[in-house]
Structure 1
Amino acid sequence: MKKHLVRIVGGDYRRTSIPVIEAAGLRPTPDRVRETLYNWLQHLWAHDFSQKRVLDLFAGTGALGFEAASRGVAHVQMVESNPAAVAALRSLRSRLKADHVRIHSGDARMVLDRTSADPFDLVLLDPPFGQQWLDTLWARLPPILAPDGLVYVESETALVPPEPFELLRQGKAGQVHFHLLRFAAAQKKVNNPETS
């Protein structure tokens, strides 16, 4: 049986193959979707990734996070709970000599609750479907995001993000909806006008 692979589509590690392990709920982001996302980011970040910090919260194969590392971001933090996936991520990081990639084995919510590092410019969210992960994550994201930080989300249905997130771009590939959101840190809640 042929082993399933995905490939990094751009940057320093372009064409590097990433093995896809057998794991429940593992659903690597397709090449063309990753290419679309990073085209969006190139436009929004004026082709300069060099100072950006990225959190890949459900890393899986690492395709999204290693794509960011390949394009020259300053730091990538990956989080994954499956031990076999974590081992595969660490093996790939070693093969690429990607010292700016950190890999954490653990639960996404716990990592968010305990993160005290510098804020992230981009959070990548591709959680297992059918488990209502996003409902538990929205309120945990603002403390770890830089002002005007971005959030990429894959989901089973099209999203209407809660405040203070605004939808910038969206698309659909097969059964997967993908979205790029901005954290509008300066956005103030609209006060109800007095009616006296």
Structure 2
Amino acid sequence: MRIIGGEKGGLRFQPPANMPHTRPTTDIAKGGLFNILENNLEFSGLKTLDIFGGTGSISYELASRGVTDLTIVEKDPNMADFIQKTAKSLEVPVKLQRMDVFRYLEQCTEKFNFIFAGPPYALTTIDQLPLIVFERQLLEPEGWFVLEHTPRNNYKNYSYYRSERNYGTTIFSIFINREELKK
């Protein structure tokens, strides 16, 4: 795997061979997502949350573009160890939470400017994620929540939904914390 953009663009990292619950976001989908983000968000000063952290790839991309306040939630001990080791070797300052994402979201008292969720596609509770993020008021005003999912999920009727981008079997639904999108 590699970081595709920013000051650390081109740096490579090797995830573990056996990642039973992890499906890294492809470079094509990641490139498309970061093109959207770069045209809509000012990275410096963002406070970010990467839930279902997996390899940590999304947070490494954010750091490469100037984000310094990065929190990653990953419950799989092997993947959490990998994130910690890789972040150190890439000199990316992450706050790693080794716990279940839903438990973290329920007890979280912080607010973020950007939240990314790349859950396992088989997760049966995926549709609850946008609801929890907005019910718990985890986003600052104008904050973005991006949910990675497959075409079988549809969030167009959810509050705060703005748009989606399709990269084959990977779809990013974008939600923005704006009153006019509340519905």
> Is the pair's TM-score, using the shorter chain for normalization, greater than 0.5?
yes
Bigger mean CA deviation after superposition, 122-131 or 151-160: 151-160
Between the aligned partners of 2:171 and 2:78, the Cα distance in structure 1 is 27
Between the aligned partners of 1:41 and 1:86, the Cα distance in structure 2 is 25
Q: Is 1:15 aligned with 2:14?
A: no
Q: Gaps spanning 5+ residues in structure 2: where?
A: none
Between the aligned partners of 1:185 and 1:145, the Cα distance in structure 2 is 12
Deviations along 1:26-61, whole A, 9 cap, x unmatched?
11001121111111011112xx31011111001101
Q: Report the equivalent of 1:111.
A: 104
Task: Describe the SS at the equivalent of 1:151.
Answer: strand
Q: Is 1:131 aligned with 2:123?
A: yes
Between the aligned partners of 2:4 and 2:148, the Cα distance in structure 1 is 18
Task: After TM superposition, give the deviation of residue 136 of structure 1 in Å.
Answer: 2.7
Q: Report the equivalent of 2:143.
A: 149
Q: Is 1:121 aligned with 2:113?
A: yes
8 Å contact kept, 1:164–1:183: no
Given the superposition, is the C-alpha separation of residues 113 and 187 from structure 1 closer, same or farther in structure 2, using an over 3 Å criterion? Answer: same
Q: What is the one-letter code of the residue matched to 1:44?
A: N
The structure 1 segments of at least 4 consecutive aligned residues displaced by more than 6 Å after TM superposition are none
8 Å contact kept, 2:73–2:97: yes
Give identity over the alignment, percent: 25
Between the aligned partners of 1:67 and 1:38, the Cα distance in structure 2 is 8
Q: What is the one-letter code of the residue matched to 1:27?
A: R
Deviations along 1:140-177, whole A, 9 cap, x unmatched?
2021111121111111225224432223341123x222
Task: After TM superposition, give the deviation of residue 125 of structure 1 in Å.
Answer: 0.9
- Max Rg structure: 1
Q: Is 1:25 aligned with 2:31?
A: no
Written as runs of structure 1 = structure 2, the 5 A alignment for 1:169-188 is 169-173=164-168, 175-185=169-179, 187=181
8 Å contact kept, 1:49–1:74: no
Q: Gaps spanning 5+ residues in structure 1: where?
A: 1-5, 190-196
Task: After TM superposition, give the deviation of residue 186 of structure 1 in Å.
Answer: 5.5
Between the aligned partners of 1:188 and 1:70, the Cα distance in structure 2 is 32
Q: What is the one-letter code of the residue matched to 1:8?
A: I
Between the aligned partners of 2:21 and 2:182, the Cα distance in structure 1 is 37
Between the aligned partners of 1:110 and 1:84, the Cα distance in structure 2 is 19
- Which of 143, 146, 159 matches 1:164? 159
Query: CA RMSD for the aligned pairs?
Result: 1.8
8 Å contact kept, 2:28–2:167: no
Task: After TM superposition, give the deviation of residue 138 of structure 1 in Å.
Answer: 2.4
The normalised TM-score by structure 2 is: 0.89
